[in-house]
Amino acid sequence: MKSTVKKSGNCSRMANGEWRKAMRIEIDDVRRVAREAGEPKIYNEAMREMLEYFKCLEKNGLLK
């Protein structure tokens, strides 16, 4: 249930333009799950790609 509340909060953050905070929470969740699975670096490449995409959207004014 905690995860659902967090996700719902992230929807509100994104709607309010708090993209960085929402992404930080998501990244922290992914890292926690990867650590618990014994593969702490498994998603690093995907997270780097996501951050680069976010930076591109931000740079081009495509985030509200």
pLDDT in tens, 2-60: 554 455 677 888 778 788 898 999 999 999 999 999 999 999 999 999 999 999 999 99
First CA to last CA across the chain, in angstroms?
28
Is position 64 within any domain? Answer: no
pLDDT of residue 44: 96
Domain count, the chain: 1
Q: Do residues 63 and 13 lie in contact, with contact meaning Cβ atoms separated by under 8 Å?
A: no
Domain that holds residue 30: 2-59
Is position 21 within any domain? Answer: yes
Is position 44 within any domain? Answer: yes
Instruction: DSSP letter for 4, please.
Output: H
pLDDT of residue 1: 43
- What's the token pair of residue 35? 């650590």
pLDDT of residue 27: 94
